[in-house]
Structure 1
Amino acid sequence: MEKNLESLLRIKETELIKAFEANNMTCLFVKDRDELTHYLKSILNQSKKVALGGSVTLNQLGVIDLIKESDVHFIDRYEEGLSNEELMNRFREAFFADLFITSTNALTMDGCLYNIDGTGNRVAAMIFGPREVIVIAGLNKICQNEEEAIARIRHCSAPANAIRLNKKTPCTKTGHCMDCHSPDRICSSYVKLAYQKQVNRIKVIIVEENLGY
């Protein structure tokens, strides 16, 4: 990274860490996938029950394969051949996990997480249930404020994911949310995670790359 941009990032890093700490969340920065992997290997042990939220970021970083290779009980939402009922049961089982790993659609400089969800299992588990939540995000998810975070979700996260999932929604044509009533709509629940009652239950890890939507 160019040195002036590196200096700017370090300023943002300090600000974000303080902001998340003020909201009773932990925040740390890692340089790349290797540093993230090293960190995750240190906690993916002791037969912990681990669940995931659906995430392009986690796929890009190889987190799913890492979990499968670790000494944990993986609640595998991606197992082939699952019926819809079995998948829903995996989503429910995630509430009793020791560790829930996911990404976020956006995060803001005042230490908040912003997400949009279709089924709601991902945001529900982030809010309550699993003993610990790790949120992994790239630099591209950092937004200055709530307005920018919501705009990012409506004009990037939601349409990109709808395209990825082959949904028949207007946003796959227009490139931005149309507040549709399509049966394929994936933006059902808008959730802001701000101040947390349970101190340090949520840990935000920012990878110094552009990742996911």
Structure 2
Amino acid sequence: MSLLQNTNLSETAAELIKNDNQVTGLSSSHYTKPASAARVNAAKAALEANGFKVYVVNSRLDAFEALKNLIPAGASINNAHSTTLEEIGFITYIKGQTPWKNVHGEIIAEKDPAKQAELRRTIGSTVDYYLTSVASVTEDGHLAHGDLSGSKVGGVAFGAANVIVIAGSNKIVKDEQEAWKRQHEFALPLESARVRIAYGLPASGVTHYEVIRKASPFNANRIQVILVNEALGY
């Protein structure tokens, strides 16, 4: 099949950098470029040594197919906001007819902010499969990411039965110290640029930050990682 359309092209890193003068300085960042094959292989080996199931694919279309094939029919799914998921066409896909129960639509249909937050905490975080990206994948096999509300880190850390992480190779960093730097000096400014478009707010923030160093000793297969040999998301 062909790649499904990304309906949020204005929120990709390239467009945000081009159109928002607060982030134009990020245009030359090496975090906008895919990593070498050697770094991808190092990250894959380290993730596997830490107990994660890892798949390496060559393109965003391959990532779409890999993700689709990992989720069994009938499963409930939810996703964090993810430019990566948008760029591989998966958000467009799950807005249509799928073999899964997508609770995201039920959550955003609730317009009362307090009730919507409760749905994010309950049905949103405890799905069979939680789909997301991360800000960084370290060469020593750790996953690092942050968010403002806590819904993303909560679902990934414990709430969901299974988690699938999709990350472009541009998110590979040396270690946790660089992961922190990438989160705050690259991902956060771009997320702030996105919320200026999406919500009319001046900036986002990282009030919750999480590093996952090893697979769960109680469910070693809970978190699966798809590494893509392309630059995706931020």
Write the distance in 2 (CA, Å) between the matches of 1:32 and 1:53.
Answer: 21
Q: Which residue of 2 aligns with 1:91?
A: 120
Give the stretch that moved more between structures: 37-46 or 27-36: 37-46
Write the distance in 2 (CA, Å) between the matches of 1:86 and 1:206.
Answer: 35
How many residues are treated as equivalent by the alignment? 192
Gaps of 5+ in 1: 1-5, 170-184
2:202 is equivalent to residue 168 of structure 1 = yes
Q: How does 1:80-159 map to 2 (within 5 A)?
A: 82-92=111-121, 93-159=123-189
Amino acid at match of 1:201: R
RMSD: 2.0
How big is each residue's C-alpha offset from its partner over 1:1-23, in whole Å with a ceiling of 9 and x where there is no partner? xxxxx9x8443333222211222
Amino acid at match of 1:102: T
1:25 Cα shift?
1.0
1:194 Cα shift?
0.7
With structure 1 as the length reference, what TM-score do the two structures score?
0.82
- Secondary structure of the residue aligned to 1:94 is coil
Q: Which residue of 2 aligns with 1:211?
A: 232
Write the distance in 2 (CA, Å) between the matches of 1:82 and 1:44.
Answer: 29
- The alignment-based identity, stated in percent, is 28
Gaps of 5+ in 2: 1-33
Write the distance in 2 (CA, Å) between the matches of 1:193 and 1:199.
Answer: 13
Write the distance in 1 (CA, Å) between the matches of 2:119 and 2:67.
Answer: 22
* Structure 1 residues 168 and 28: alpha-carbon distance in aligned structure 2, compared to 1, 3 A threshold: same
1:45 Cα shift?
4.2
Write the distance in 2 (CA, Å) between the matches of 1:145 and 1:44.
Answer: 30
Write the distance in 1 (CA, Å) between the matches of 2:211 and 2:72.
Answer: 30
1:56 Cα shift?
1.1
- Secondary structure of the residue aligned to 1:162 is helix
Q: Is the 8 A contact 1:116 1:190 kept in 2?
A: yes
